[in-house]
Amino acid sequence: MTIAQFLVLSAALFSIGIYGVLVRRNAVLVLLSVELMLAAVNINFVAFGRYFADATAGGQMFALFIITVAAAEVGIGLAIVLLIFRNRASANIDELDVLKW
């Protein structure tokens, strides 16, 4: 196993996530694509942790921190989406233009 094959796979997943964030209209699907990008970053951290043979498992620790922050992000994000849906009866992000002027 080379380090580059993990990095290329992670770059592919991250790019697919970027495509999903840019192309989706529904807020829940945008959040799903963000999860894809975070999973790509996790693969990078664990592969680099193994590559540098860190004695204190730093790569895996940061992967765990990212998982925690992702859980918090999904909770808050879905709460905001539900609130927007309750007020505007739509979860499409291109219809949210109240902050535009």
Partner 1 sequence: MDLSIAQNWFFIIIALAMVMASLIVVTTRNVMHAALMLVGALAGSAALFVLLGAEFVAGVIVLVYIGAIIVLFLFGVMITRVEIGRSQSLDHERKWPAAVIAIGTFAVLAGSSVAFFGDEEIEGVAAVRTSDIGTAIFERFVVPFEVVSFVLLAALIGGIVLARRDDPES
Q: Which is nearer to partner 1, 61 or 100 (CB)?
A: 61
With CB under 8 A as the contact rule, the residue among 47, 97, 99, 100 that binds partner 1 is: 47
What is the per-residue binding string for partner 1 in 5-44, x denoting contact by CB under 8 A?
xxxxxxxxxxxxxxxx-xxxxxxxx-xxx-xx--x--xx-
DSSP for 54-75, written as a single string: -TT-HHHHHHHHHHHHHHHHHH
Judged by CB, which is closer to partner 1: 67, or 96? 67
Q: Give the residue from 70, 26, 25 showing the smallest Cα distance to 45.
A: 70
Footprint of partner 1 on 66-95 (CB under 8 A): 67-76, 78-83, 85, 91-92, 94
Please, which residue, 94 or 100, has the CB nearer to partner 1? 94
Asked if 44 contacts 6 with a C-beta cutoff of 8 angstroms, the reply is: yes
* Residues 52 and 62: beta-carbon distance below 8 Å: no
